[in-house]
Structure 1
Amino acid sequence: MKSFLRIIIVTILLTPTAASAATLSTAEFLALEKKWPELAEKSEALRVEGRVASASSKLIKLRNCPLPFRPAGAAFDEKRQPAGRVEITGVLQRRAGELVFVVTELREMPDDAQVYALKQSAIDAGDPADWYDLAAWAEQRGTFYDDRSLLAKATEARRRGLSVERQSAAGDPAGLVALAKKAKGFGLAELEYELLHESLRVRFEQLRADAKSNLRPLIDDIRLLLSGAQQPLDTWPMDVAARYAAEPLAVYNRADETSRPVLDRIFLAEAQLTAIERLADSEGANGDGIADQIMAVLPERRDLAERYREREIAFHLEHITSSTRAEALKLATRLEATDRADEAKRALTKWLAAHEATQRTEGPSGLVVVAEDYVAVLGDKAAAARLLVEALAANPESTTIPDKLRQLGYVKVDGEWITKQEADTRPVEPIVQAMREGRVVLNMSPEQVRKTLGVPDRIARAASTSQIHEAWIYGARSGLVVHFLRYSAREQEKSRVVGVAKLR
Structure 2
Amino acid sequence: MNAGEGLLLRSGLWVWLLLCCGAAPVTAQTLSVPQLLKQQDRWGELADAGARIQLEGRFQSRTAESFRLEQLELIFRHPPTVRLPDRIRRAQRVEVTGGFTRDGSRLFFTVQRLQVGETDEEQLRRRMAEPGNEQPEKLLLLAAEYVPRAEFYEDDVLRQEIQAVRGQAIQRQKQLVRNDPIGLAGLLQSAEQLGVSAETTGQLRFELLALRLKQPGNELQSLLADARRMEGWDDRQRAIPASLQQAFTKNAGAAWAAASPAERRLLQRQLYVQLRLLDLRQQLKTDGSNGLELGRLVRDELPAEVQAAEALEQREVQWQLSRATQLERQELIGVSGLLVRLDRVAEAGQLRSAWLRGQEQRFGLQTLAGQIRTADEYLFVGEEWQDQVARERGVELLKQAWERAAQESPADADGLAQRLKTLGWERLQDRWISSADFLKRPPDDVQRAAREGRVVKGMTAEQVSQTLGRPNRTAKLAAQRVFREFWIYEEAGLVVRLRRNLQRANEVLVVEDVVRDEAARRKQD
**TM-score where L is the length of structure 1:** 0.69
**2:196 is the alignment partner of 1:196:** no
Query: 1:244-323 counterparts in 2 under 5 A?
Result: 244=248, 246-253=250-257, 264-280=268-284, 285-294=289-298, 298=301, 303=306, 307=310, 311=314, 315=318, 322=325
The aligned residue for residue 10 of structure 1 is none
2:400 is the alignment partner of 1:383: no
Distance 2:130 2:362 in 1: 91
Residue 405 (structure 1) aligned with residue 417 (structure 2): yes
The separation in 1 between residues aligned to 2:420 and 2:251, in whole angstroms, is 67
Aligned to 2:101: 93
Note the alpha carbon deviations across 1:353-388, whole angstroms, 9 max, x for none.
Answer: 564466444433222222223332214564333222
**C-alpha contact 1:69 1:103 (8 A) present in aligned 2:** yes
Partners of 1:117 and 1:453 in 2: how far apart?
121
What SS does the corresponding residue of 1:273 show, helix, strand or coil?
Answer: helix
> What is the aligned partner in structure 2 of residue 420 from structure 1?
435
Aligned to 2:49: 42
Write the letter of the residue equivalent to 2:220: L
Which residue of structure 1 aligns with residue 473 of structure 2? none
Q: Give the 3 Å change call, closer, same or farther, for CA 314–484 of structure 1 in structure 2.
A: farther
Name the aligned partner's letter for residue 233 of structure 1. Answer: D
% same residue:
21
Output the amino acid matched with 2:408.
E
Range with bigger deviation, 326-335 or 415-424 = 326-335
How does 1:91-490 map onto structure 2 within 5 Å? 91-109=99-117, 112=120, 115-122=123-130, 124-144=132-152, 148-190=156-198, 191-206=200-215, 209-210=216-217, 214-223=219-228, 226=229, 228=231, 232-235=234-237, 237-239=239-241, 242=245, 244=248, 246-253=250-257, 264-280=268-284, 285-294=289-298, 298=301, 303=306, 307=310, 311=314, 315=318, 322=325, 324=327, 326=329, 327-334=331-338, 348=352, 351-352=355-356, 355-356=359-360, 359-379=363-383, 382-395=392-405, 396-398=407-409, 399-409=411-421, 410-426=425-441, 482-485=501-504
In structure 2, the gaps of 5 or more residues are 1-24, 467-479, 488-496, 514-525
Instruction: Please give the secondary structure, in 1, of the residue aligned with 2:502.
Output: strand
What SS does the corresponding residue of 1:104 show, helix, strand or coil? strand
Distance 1:174 1:82 in 2: 51
> 1:75-104, CA deviations, whole angstroms, 9 ceiling, x for partnerless residues?
325697794544322233334444333333
Q: Which whole-Å CA distance do the structure 1 matches of 2:191 and 2:46 have between them?
A: 42
* Structure 2 Cα separation of the partners of residues 79 and 419 of structure 1: 118
CA distance in 1, matches of 2:84, 2:348: 102
1:435-463 deviation line (CA, Å, top 9, x unaligned): 9957679xxxxxx7877899xxxxxxxxx
Task: State the distance in 1 between where 2:140 and 2:235 align.
Answer: 40
- Shift in CA distance, 80/291, structure 1 to aligned 2, threshold 3 Å: closer
Contact 1:113–1:150 (CA under 8 A) maintained in structure 2:
yes
Displacement of 1:157 in angstroms is 1.4
Q: Give the SS at the match of 1:278.
A: helix
Out of 142-151 and 26-35, give the one that drifted further.
142-151
Q: For the residues of structure 2 that align with 1:293 and 1:125, how far apart are their CA atoms?
A: 52
Report the secondary structure of 2:174's partner residue: helix
Contact between 1:58 and 1:76, CA under 8 Å: does it hold in 2?
no
State the distance in 2 between where 1:340 and 1:189 align: 50
Q: Distance in 1 between matches of 2:381 and 2:33?
A: 95
Q: Distance in 2 between matches of 1:359 and 1:264?
A: 57
Cα deviation, 1:22-76, whole Å, max 9, x if unaligned, reads: 22234433343233222223323222233444556743444443333345xx632
- Per-residue displacement from partner, 1:192-212 (whole Å, max 9, x unpaired)? 333334434443332xx34xx
Deviations 1:318-377 (A, max 9, x none): 659756453544444346657887986676466545644664444332222222233322
| RMSD (Å) for aligned C-alpha atoms | 4.9
In 1, Cα distance between equivalents of 2:449 and 2:34: 132
Letter paired with 1:333:
G
1:274: how far off? 0.9
Structure 1, unaligned stretches of length 5 or more?
1-17, 442-447, 455-469, 487-494
Partner of 2:132, secondary structure, is coil
**In the superposition, relative to structure 1, how do residues 312 and 483 fare at CA in structure 2: closer, same or farther (>3 Å)?**
farther
- Please report how far the alpha carbon of residue 166 of structure 1 lies from its aligned counterpart in structure 2 after TM superposition: 3.0
Change (3 A) 1:300 1:475: closer
In the other structure, the counterpart of 1:489 is none
For residues 449-487 of structure 1, give each alpha carbon's deviation from its aligned partner in whole angstroms, at most 9, with x where no partner exists: 877899xxxxxxxxxxxxxxx98967797785532458x
Letter in 1 for 2:502: H
2:81 match: 76
Report the number of matched residues.
447
Match of 2:16 in 1: none
